[in-house]
Amino acid sequence: MKIGIDIRLIGKKRTGDEVVFFNLVQHLAKIDEQNSYFLFTDVVDELKIAEIAKNLGIIERKNFQIISIKTLNRFSWNFWDLARQLKSTPVDVYLTQYITPFFVPKKIKIVTIIHDISWNFFPQFIKKSDLFFLRFLLPLSLKRADKILGVSKFTRDELEKYYSLPLSKLDYFQNALSEDYKKQDISPEKLEQVQKKYHLPEKFMLYLGTLQPRKNIPLLLESFALTRDKLPNFKVVLVGNRQAHNFDQKIDETIRKHGLEDCVVFPGFADEEDKAAIYKLAQVFVFPSLYEGFGIPLLEAFAVKTPVLASNIPSLQEVAQNSALLVNPGDIDKFAKALYDICINDNLRNNLTDLAVQRAKVFLWENAAKKVRKVFESLV
């Protein structure tokens, strides 16, 4: 088969969805020597392309090739640029996410990955331009796609219900921990270096990810405000890009409301090689999200034995099962009590981390790559 993959996300520091495409491609390269892969990107800088190839481990793989397509924007890519490129570089299957390309021959089978459909439930948290883009074009894309993949059983079921799609057109794989993350240094020397680099306090509750409203970070801050007298040595560390266009303004409002200016630390965007150490330094990782398609951050915390408190939404239940403390994100009092308990109850912490280490081993990118390759084979 000739397989095309949209890798525009790789190298863009887009957190979750970039992690998915990077690891899928990296592991397809490890398991597949028969099929030919054409990796399409809008990156035109040759040094950056070389870096992407090196990171993916495909420099010496003759069946993997990165093809750079110059484009004005994502609209131009989907409407014109990719279709033009596919005339000179025809493929049997094309893998992308969300919006499928236009004017691509029907003989090219299209697979699209859907990470979540949160905008249908929390439209107020989405930019109006993005909301129009998703509401207008996604139904057309789902109709054009030959196969639609969720990143969890939960996401697949959501797609079936919300868009009335036949189950035969849907499938799913489960996200996992990258091999690079598993190999990250968490030695005492590395922990000391990272603590100084990001000015991290001695004891802290951690959130790491995008700082958008759907992540429900004010719940963490409200819960901390209710418990800080009992946890006087703790602070809250929020790792993420505070300058992003969808930064949740209620974060700053909640900090001012409870006078938490000296208790909340914003280290900014964390370098990938430092993430495991940041999780390891935390006394607890808190993930109070209102909606997720999967929940890779839970696995990242599990792997370094950092206890996890998260919202009890279905996707996180699917990931964690009994390996995290899961609480209703709509109940501040219960969330605050759980936050206190997980910080001070050593028996609870040890029990959770023992279960979590084993749970993290269930999720493997190699399995996800095998599942995706099987989907390709079923279409051609």
* pLDDT tens digits, 45-62: 999 999 999 999 999 899
pLDDT band of 14, cuts 50, 70, 90: low
Lowest mean pLDDT among 74-83, 140-149, 278-287: 74-83
**Average pLDDT, integer, range 283-297:** 95
pLDDT of 19 above 90: no
Query: Is position 96 within any domain?
Result: yes
Lowest mean pLDDT among 1-10, 13-22, 81-90, 345-354: 13-22
Query: Is position 33 within any domain?
Result: yes
Tell whether 114 and 210 lie within a shared domain.
Answer: no
Rounded distance between C-alpha atoms, residue 108 and residue 104, angstroms: 7
pLDDT of 244 above 70: yes
Tell whether 331 and 375 lie within a shared domain.
Answer: no
Tell whether 324 and 243 lie within a shared domain.
Answer: yes
Tell whether 33 and 15 lie within a shared domain.
Answer: yes
Rounded distance between C-alpha atoms, residue 175 and residue 154, angstroms: 12
Tell whether 191 and 319 lie within a shared domain.
Answer: yes
Q: What is the pLDDT of residues 315-368, one digit of tens each?
A: 999 999 999 999 999 999 999 999 999 999 999 999 999 999 999 999 999 999
**Average pLDDT, integer, range 34-39:** 97
**Average pLDDT, integer, range 62-87:** 93
Q: How many beta carbons lie within 10 A of that of residue 67, not counting itself? A: 14
pLDDT of 127 above 80: no
Lowest mean pLDDT among 62-71, 102-111, 121-130, 314-323: 121-130
What ranges in 110-187 are assigned the alpha helix state H? Answer: 128-144, 153-163, 179-182
Please report the pLDDT score of residue 151 as a whole number. Answer: 95
**Average pLDDT, integer, range 300-305:** 96
pLDDT band of 375, cuts 50, 70, 90: very high
Query: Is position 74 within any domain?
Result: yes
Rounded distance between C-alpha atoms, residue 179 and residue 271, angstroms: 16
Beta strands in 170-252 (DSSP E): 170-172, 203-208, 234-239
pTM over 0.85: yes
Please report the pLDDT score of residue 157 as a whole number. Answer: 96
Please report the pLDDT score of residue 282 as a whole number. Answer: 98
Rounded distance between C-alpha atoms, residue 79 and residue 69, angstroms: 13
Find, among 315, 255, 284, 277, the residue nearest to 121 by Cα: 315
Range of the domain at 298: 186-360
Structure token pair of residue 323: 């390996």
Tell whether 293 and 375 lie within a shared domain.
Answer: no
Query: Is position 229 within any domain?
Result: yes
Please report the pLDDT score of residue 160 as a whole number. Answer: 96
CATH number of the CATH domain containing 198: 3.40.50.2000
Tell whether 233 and 137 lie within a shared domain.
Answer: no
Q: Which range, 63-77, 112-126, 188-202, is most confident?
A: 188-202
Query: Is position 167 within any domain?
Result: yes
Q: What is the pLDDT of residues 158-185, one digit of tens each?
A: 999 999 999 999 999 999 998 889 999 9
Spacing of C-alpha 132 from chain mean position: 23
Tell whether 281 and 311 lie within a shared domain.
Answer: yes
- Residues 220, 223, 226: CA angle, nearest 5 degrees: 150
Query: Is position 343 within any domain?
Result: yes
pLDDT band of 15, cuts 50, 70, 90: low
Tell whether 233 and 113 lie within a shared domain.
Answer: no
DSSP conformation letters of 32-70 = -SSSEEEEEES---HHHHHHHHHHHT-TT-TTEEEEE--
Count: domains in the chain: 2
Tell whether 100 and 26 lie within a shared domain.
Answer: yes
Tell whether 170 and 205 lie within a shared domain.
Answer: no
Tell whether 155 and 269 lie within a shared domain.
Answer: no
Please report the pLDDT score of residue 110 as a whole number. Answer: 97
Query: Is position 336 within any domain?
Result: yes
Query: Is position 181 within any domain?
Result: no
